[in-house]
Amino acid sequence: MNFSKILFAIFACFMAFAAVSAAPEPRWNPFKKLERVGQNIRDGIVKAQPAIQVVGEAATIYRGGK
């Protein structure tokens, strides 16, 4: 008899925890900001690539075309 009451109490607790919805995501997510910083760095490198090529070619011309 006591075993059935304990089993019922455990089952009731399990159902109560299962019915509770998860908390919403926090407004401040550090991983999103970190991802955005990485995207900005990548975009900056892509935009700077033509200028880096010009500097490399100028250095080659200055050294005498070796």
Determine the average pLDDT of the residues in 3-25: 79
In the prediction, which pLDDT does 52 show? 86
Residues with Cβ within 8 Å of residue 50, at least 6 apart in sequence:
none
* Interval 24-58: pLDDT, tens: 666 777 788 889 999 999 999 889 888 888 888 88
In the prediction, which pLDDT does 66 show? 58
Q: Do 27 and 21 touch, CB atoms closer than 8 A?
A: no
> What residue spans define the domains of the chain?
3-65
Quote the pTM value: 0.43
